[in-house]
Amino acid sequence: MLSGRAIENIENSVLDELVVTNTIPLSAAAQACSRIRQLDIAPVVAEAVRRISNEESISAMFR
């Protein structure tokens, strides 16, 4: 996803932080970049699966 000069561009940009999820693996260079923060979405997906399984609303998770 972050290919070519993306990491260099992020490091040299005015961005304070780029937040991504762990749905795709980050390269070693992206993992080493101090401006990239990766969030784990497993708890959100697990809760959504639990709610669907129990026939509960998932829209309530995002209010």
pLDDT at site 62: 87
pLDDT at site 30: 96
Q: What is the 3-state secondary structure (H, E, C) of the chain?
A: CCCCCHHHHHHCCCCCCEEEECCCCCCHHHHHCCCEEEECCHHHHHHHHHHHHCCCCCHHHHC
Domain contains 38? yes
Domain contains 54? yes
CATH number at residue 10: 3.40.50.2020
Domain that holds residue 19: 6-62
pLDDT reading at 63 higher than 90: no
pLDDT tens digits, 12-59:
999 999 999 999 999 999 999 999 999 999 999 999 999 999 999 999
Domain contains 1? no
| Global confidence as pTM | 0.76
Domain contains 48? yes
Predicted confidence band of residue 1 (pLDDT cuts 50, 70, 90): confident
User: How many domains does the chain divide into?
Assistant: 1
pLDDT at site 53: 97
CA distance 49 to 61: 12
Domain contains 34? yes
